[in-house]
Structure 1
Amino acid sequence: MKVDQKGHTITIRDTQGNVNSFLMTVTEQYKSFEKSNIIIDLLMHKELSLNDIKLFIPISKQHKKAKKSFVVVADDFDYNAAPNRLIVVPSLLEAHDIIEMDEIERDLGF
């Protein structure tokens, strides 16, 4: 797992190659990330299933309750099949853009 911080956003990159163990590591260390927006970078995985993506729903719900953004970046994925409760995008740039829009909405009181 590799962690990069840029402003109010932390990007957590999977370097383990196993979605389940990566999620377990993120969950164990969640307290150190909970005050920032989170981007989960799964770009190294070329064959992600919908079930792999759904594993992140509980931590995403918890993070959104704290009024922070949670975005999953996955390449080669059917984004229309993504659950409504989870934001899944194809690039890190798009993830940062979504977080920026979320920040603006929160600042405006939406």
Structure 2
Amino acid sequence: MKVEQKGHTTIIKDTLGQTAEFLMKVTHEHNTYKNSNLILDLTHDKNLSLEDVKSFTELIKLHKKQKKSIVLVTDNVNFNAVPKSIILVPTILEAHDIIEMEEIERDLGF
């Protein structure tokens, strides 16, 4: 797991390609990141499935209660099959763009 801070966003990269372990670590350390927008980079896991992505649902709900954004990054999953409650994009750049838009929406009171 590699952690990088960029402004008001924390990027956490799964370096092992073991999504279940990565999810456990991030969930366990959530208090460390709860005041920051999160980008969870899952691109290292080439066997990532839709079910793996759905396993992040509880963490996403927990993080959104803090009025912060959380975006998953991978290009191995069919984006049309992902539930609307999960924000999934293919690149880190797009994840930053989504967070920026959500920050603006929160500032405007949406």
Query: What TM-score, normalized by structure 2, do the two folds share?
Result: 0.97
Aligned length: 110
Q: For 2:50 and 2:83, locate their aligned partners in 1 and report how far apart those are by CA, in whole Å.
A: 9
What amino acid sits opposite 1:25 in the alignment? K
Distance 1:47 1:56, change over 3 A: same
Deviations 1:38-95 (A, max 9, x none): 0000011122111000111100011111110010001121000011111000000000
Equivalent residue, structure 2, for 1:45: 45
* CA displacement at 1:16 relative to structure 2: 2.0
Q: Which runs of 5+ in 2 are unaligned?
A: none
Q: For 1:92 and 1:38, locate their aligned partners in 2 and report how far apart those are by CA, in whole Å.
A: 11
Q: For 1:66 and 1:10, locate their aligned partners in 2 and report how far apart those are by CA, in whole Å.
A: 15
Q: For 2:73 and 2:105, locate their aligned partners in 1 and report how far apart those are by CA, in whole Å.
A: 21
What stretches of structure 1 move > 6 A for 4+ residues in a row? none
Equivalent residue, structure 2, for 1:30: 30
- Percent identity between matched residues is 56
Q: Which runs of 5+ in 1 are unaligned?
A: none
| Aligned alpha-carbon RMSD (Å) | 0.7
What amino acid sits opposite 1:47 in the alignment? N
